[in-house]
Amino acid sequence: MAGMPPDNPDSFGAPVTLSDVARLAGVAPMTVSRCLNQPDTVRSATRLKVQRAIEQTGYVQNRLAGALRSSRSRLVAVVMPMVTNPIFSDTFQAINDRLARDGYQVLLGVSGYEREHEQELLEVILSRRPDGIILTGTLHTTASRTRLRAARVPVVETWDLTPEPIDMLVGFSHEQAGRAVALQLLAQGYRRFALVAVDDPRGLRRAESFTRTLAEQGVVDVRRQVFPGTPTLAMGRLGLSALLDEHTDQSGAPLAVVCTSDTIAHGVLTEAAARGIRVPQHLAVMGFGDMSFAAHTFPALSTVRIDGALMGDTAAQMLLERLQGQGSAGGVRDIGFTLVQRGSTGGPHSDR
Amino acid sequence: MAGMPPDNPDSFGAPVTLSDVARLAGVAPMTVSRCLNQPDTVRSATRLKVQRAIEQTGYVQNRLAGALRSSRSRLVAVVMPMVTNPIFSDTFQAINDRLARDGYQVLLGVSGYEREHEQELLEVILSRRPDGIILTGTLHTTASRTRLRAARVPVVETWDLTPEPIDMLVGFSHEQAGRAVALQLLAQGYRRFALVAVDDPRGLRRAESFTRTLAEQGVVDVRRQVFPGTPTLAMGRLGLSALLDEHTDQSGAPLAVVCTSDTIAHGVLTEAAARGIRVPQHLAVMGFGDMSFAAHTFPALSTVRIDGALMGDTAAQMLLERLQGQGSAGGVRDIGFTLVQRGSTGGPHSDR
DNA sequence: ATGAAAGCGCTAACAT
DNA sequence: ATGTTAGCGCTTTCAT
């Protein structure tokens, strides 16, 4: 028999099951199951026999069956608005890394920023019986919230705060972020402002808060360019062009352009360079996210740093604690944000 | 009974099963199953009764059980090297969109560019009994290939070509891409070249092919800067800095810097701007990917366009055809690439 | 430390 | 068009 291929892995026979392995190893199926799931409870001699049988047969576990019986799928669903928006990449990567370490797998759903679509998605997701769900944002349909609560599945909402989370929550305040940017720029002496934004709900909330704060300080004339979809460099270029075309104020005072995304801000910097406008002397630019490129644009981009990786890691961690502590751990975590001052703002106007 | 909450959705009772729905609707469980999976085979009157019972109970399908019984999970696993590398975003998005349309869900695995890790990942993935697997690249361990073949699961490899695919394949030739870039730049009159690359296997193959082609034409002195990990803007800045520092040739002939990624190329453009080097007069820059920003940098980036969305859509389509045609459809598809000439190359040297 | 029996929730296959 | 029977492959539970 030596030299034979391991039990005809290429034949059309019925797929190998745990019972096949058990038969070959001369033990009960349950013992094989234990070897796979709680190896410590099996004598090492037995474990070895089983191990060999698994290799010989080329057995692959069927977690569909395991999950059905045990009601533990070891699956976590992650719902994101868009995979093409790099602002979420770090969060996703961190979630995936943390969960993979504990043997969980990620089922990814893309909601396209639409609550109705998210609701349908959740229906499909729940049918897979995930052990947990990580959502982006706190805006969900009532039906979604009801369904999730009824399913008694642990849920973590991310990227926002709300007084009424579905369950657990990791995020930061978009209102505070928008306000902080306004106050900072005012403190630096800027008096002329504009916004370039995409129409995602959280970005718009930051923009609103920014504008409101300026208004409280007597600055009311804030032009805005709002684009649909995922932030792009092109939006920044178009946005600045449009703003400059319509802006008739030739007072010479610098204009501070606040963007709801670093990517857009990068586009604004690019358009400024293309037009020979000096930054920050004649134009100040503020981004959002502190994505990897922000420190390396020319000039370097001032922005609001969000620790997406920390957010993802925290979300995964909360979920795991709940799942492993089989209890009530969890709650709400505000990871905050940080204003990062770089060359695209400030300059001669600093500390005025 | 009117006005009662729908059968106590918030109570701790056993979760609602298909049999519960059947009982309430006064039909057999199988009929409920048919309403869910092949509604056309059920009388509309019956369907309505069942529909009502589903709503009343708040029933959520259990696809774990369905998949176990029917051996169809409606799950497709997608393995990518890195989610933070935006070159793959479009492909992933397209895969996800296409599959979702047909009721499939995506299980995402991140391999981190490591074949051994990919192998472990595949083990876990196979245990979920996906109906198909979409891989990135064609470099897999022998064990991975054997396992995948033995599992008789449809596989699509993407982002590369190979004479010996595991099963189906959608990609393009990295050798041809590298060669095309070299020939194009030579034709434009460039004679001094440098490379800025990340150490991912496909990028390195393009770089090799580029260098080899130049050598065939008598150009042998190609400096290169190679970085580990995911491409970043910072790599481009650092890379150009390093190249300029070590480059002693002051002949005045323009240097053409070829990058294995648009992101890196963007960094090279940025460093050039920061140093006041004129592009393309004194420095030419070539990217790879034609990512969304490439047309909007300043100057606009010449690059190699890869239609990532087409690749993803094709991969998903091939898989679906195989799954639905229950047969042998599939094969190999070369989606090619296109050289895109923009402002960062050419200029005064064009057509010389 | 290991085994035997039972059943998770669904659908294939075969009636009617 | 609908129902009945059986069982997918595993793990819970209870024995030994």
What domains appear along chain B, each with residue ranges and CATH number? 18-61 (1.10.260.40), 72-172+308-337 (3.40.50.2300), 174-305 (3.40.50.2300)
Amino acid at B34: R
Of A112-121, B2-11, B151-160, the one with minimum mean pLDDT is B2-11
Q: Find residue B259's DSSP bridge partners.
A: B196
Q: What is the pLDDT of residue B4?
A: 38
Q: Is A176 exposed, middle or buried, given 0-12, 13-18 or 19+ CB atoms closer than 10 A?
A: middle
Cβ-based contacts (< 7 Å) between A 51-110 and strand D: 61-62, 65-66, 68-70, 72
List C-alpha distances in Å: B142 to B152, B190, B217.
16, 42, 37
Which of A127, A134, A291 should one mutate to test binding to chain B, selecting the residue with the greatest count of B CBs within 10 A?
Answer: A127
For strands B168-171 and B155-158, give the pairing. parallel
A154-178 mean pLDDT: 97
**What are the backbone dihedrals phi and psi of residue B252, each rounded to the nearest 5 degrees, phi first?**
90, -10
Q: Compute the distance between CA of residue A248 and CA of residue B162 in angstroms, rounded to an integer.
A: 59
Per the CB < 8 Å rule, is B9 touching A232?
A: no
Distance A5 CA to D14 C1' (A): 40
Distance A64 CA to D10 C1' (A): 8
Q: Which residue has the higher pLDDT, B246 or B219?
A: B219
How crowded is residue B12: how many other Cβ atoms within 10 Å of its Cβ? Answer: 7
A310-337 mean pLDDT: 90
User: Closest nucleotide to residue A25 (Cα to C1')?
Assistant: C2
Query: Would you give the end-to-end CA distance of chain A in angstroms?
Result: 87
Work out the percent of chain B whose per-residue pLDDT is above 70: 92
Residues of B in contact with A271 (CB under 8 A): 298
Tokens of A279: 């930054």
Q: Compute the distance between CA of residue B15 and CA of residue B5 in angstroms, rounded to an integer.
A: 16
* A143 vs B: CB within 8 A: no
Q: Chain B closest CA to A227's CA: distance in Å?
A: 16
Residues of B in contact with A128 (CB under 8 A): 63-64, 105
Q: Which is it for the CA torsion B268, B273, B277, B278, positive or negative?
A: positive
A207, A224 contact by CB (below 8 A): yes
Per the CB < 8 Å rule, is B62 touching A84?
A: no
Tally of CA atoms within 13 A in the half-sphere of B185 that contains its CB: 34
pLDDT tens-place string over residues A33-62: 999 999 999 999 999 999 999 999 999 999
Q: Compute the distance between CA of residue A74 and CA of residue A319 in angstroms, rounded to an integer.
A: 12
Q: What is the pLDDT of residue B278?
A: 94
pLDDT tens-place string over residues B138-185: 999 999 999 999 999 999 999 999 999 999 999 999 999 999 999 999
Strand order across the A168-171 sheet = A332-334, A168-171, A155-158, A132-136, A75-80, A105-110, B105-110, B75-80, B132-136, B155-158, B168-171, B332-334
A282-305 mean pLDDT: 97
User: Largest Cα–Cα distance in chain B?
Assistant: 92
For strands B255-259 and B338-340, give the pairing. unpaired
On the question of pLDDT at A327 being above 70, the answer is no
**What are the backbone dihedrals phi and psi of residue A214, each rounded to the nearest 5 degrees, phi first?**
-60, -45
On the question of pLDDT at A349 being above 90, the answer is no
Q: What is the pLDDT of residue A312?
A: 98
Three-state SS letters, chain A: CCCCCCCCCCCCCCCCCHHHHHHHHCCCHHHHHHHHHCHHHCCHHHHHHHHHHHHHHCCCCCHHHHHHHHCCCCEEEEEECCCCCHHHHHHHHHHHHHHHHCCCEEEEEECCCCHHHHHHHHHHHHCCCCCEEEEECCCCCHHHHHHHHHHCCCEEEECCCCCCCCCEEEECCHHHHHHHHHHHHHHCCCCEEEEEEECCHHHHHHHHHHHHHHHHCCCCCCEEEEECCCCCHHHHHHHHHHHHHHCCCCCCCCEEEEECCHHHHHHHHHHHHHHCCCCCCCEEEECCECCCCHHHCCCCCEEEECCHHHHHHHHHHHHHHHHHCCCCCCCEEECCCEEECCCCCCHHHCCC
Q: What is the pLDDT of residue B352?
A: 35
Confidence at B218, pLDDT banded by 50, 70, 90: very high
Q: What is the pLDDT of residue B307?
A: 98
pLDDT tens-place string over residues A205-260: 999 999 999 999 999 999 999 999 999 999 999 999 999 988 666 677 899 999 99
On the question of pLDDT at B300 being above 90, the answer is yes
Distance A69 CA to D16 C1' (A): 24
Q: What is the pLDDT of residue B67?
A: 98
Q: Compute the distance between CA of residue A318 and CA of residue A127 in angstroms, rounded to an integer.
A: 23
Confidence at B306, pLDDT banded by 50, 70, 90: very high
Q: What is the pLDDT of residue B2?
A: 36
Q: What is the pLDDT of residue B13?
A: 64
Residues of A in contact with B298 (CB under 8 A): 270-271, 273-274
| Residue of chain B with shortest Cα separation from A97 | B110
On the question of pLDDT at A2 being above 50, the answer is no
Confidence at A326, pLDDT banded by 50, 70, 90: low
Tokens of A338: 């940080």
B/e letters for A59-86, b = 16+ CB within 10 Å, e = fewer, are bbbbbbbbbbeeeebbbbbbbbbbbbbb
Distance B11 CA to D15 C1' (A): 34
A105, B124 contact by CB (below 8 A): yes
Our measurement of the distance from residue B279's CA atom to the centroid of its chain's CA atoms, rounded to an integer in Å, reads 31
How crowded is residue B146: how many other Cβ atoms within 10 Å of its Cβ? Answer: 16
Tokens of B196: 């800025």
Q: Chain B closest CA to A69's CA: distance in Å?
A: 9
Distance B72 CA to D7 C1' (A): 16
Work out the percent of chain A whose per-residue pLDDT is above 70: 92
Q: Chain B closest CA to A15's CA: distance in Å?
A: 8
On the question of pLDDT at A30 being above 70, the answer is yes
Query: Would you give the end-to-end CA distance of chain B in angstroms?
Result: 87
Q: What is the pLDDT of residue A248?
A: 63
List C-alpha distances in Å: B297 to A118, A276, A345, B269, B301.
34, 14, 21, 8, 6
Work out the percent of chain B whose per-residue pLDDT is above 90: 88
pLDDT tens-place string over residues B323-347: 988 666 679 999 999 999 999 997 5
Q: What is the pLDDT of residue A239?
A: 97
| Residue of chain B with shortest Cα separation from A152 | B10
Tell me the pTM.
0.93
Q: Compute the distance between CA of residue B152 and CA of residue B146 in angstroms, rounded to an integer.
A: 10
Tokens of B167: 């099963």
- Closest CA relative to residue A88, chosen from B295, B266, B100, B89: B89
